[in-house]
């Protein structure tokens, strides 16, 4: 396995084949974004990561997020779960005993949350 992050991401993306390398890069960026939104550094759940993915996508892509995700092969939140678990299996992300792939299933509808009038929400205010 290659040593640098980019090459490792390319290997994981190529071995699965369903998702564009940019989807893997975006999940990593969203993980960093989500952790930075927290008051203290800790493990985040799949649902929390999906909230961070949603907020980052709204900031970066706005109403074009659905189109961007489609290009990447990502059609729903369970696809992000597949990406995360591909990264877990490659030992590039960690999971706790409480985490499962099902945490990512049907959490939100892309067409609903990535509407033109949608805005990112602070993770602190969502508690």
In order along its 127 residues, the chain shows pLDDT tens digits of 567 989 999 999 999 999 999 999 999 999 999 999 888 888 899 999 999 999 999 999 998 999 999 999 999 999 999 999 999 999 999 999 999 999 999 999 998 998 877 677 665 444 4
* Torsion over CA: 111, 59, 117, 38 (sign): positive
Q: Specify the pLDDT at position 125.
A: 45
Residue pair 101/82 in contact (Cβ under 8 Å)? The answer is yes
Q: Per-residue b/e over 26-61, b at no fewer than 16 CB within 10 Å?
A: bbeebbebbbebeeeeeebebebbbbbbbbbbbeee
34 Ramachandran zone, left/alpha/beta (phi>0; psi -120 to 50): alpha
Q: Can you give the residue ranges of every domain in the chain?
A: 5-113
Which 8-state DSSP code applies to residue 29? H
């Amino acid at each position: 396995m290659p040593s640098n992050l980019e090459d490792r991401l390319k290997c994981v993306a190529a071995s699965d084949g369903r998702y564009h390398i940019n989807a893997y890069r975006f999940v990593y960026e969203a993980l960093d974004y989500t952790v930075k939104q927290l008051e203290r550094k800790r493990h985040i759940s799949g649902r929390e990561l999906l909230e961070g993915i949603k907020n980052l996508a709204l900031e970066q892509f706005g109403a074009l997020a659905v189109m961007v995700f489609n290009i990447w092969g990502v059609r729903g939140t369970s696809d992000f779960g597949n990406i995360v678990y591909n990264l877990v299996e490659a030992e590039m992300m960690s999971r706790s005993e409480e985490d499962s792939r099902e945490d990512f299933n049907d959490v939100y509808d892309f067409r609903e949350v990535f509407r033109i009038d949608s805005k990112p929400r602070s993770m602190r205010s969502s508690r």
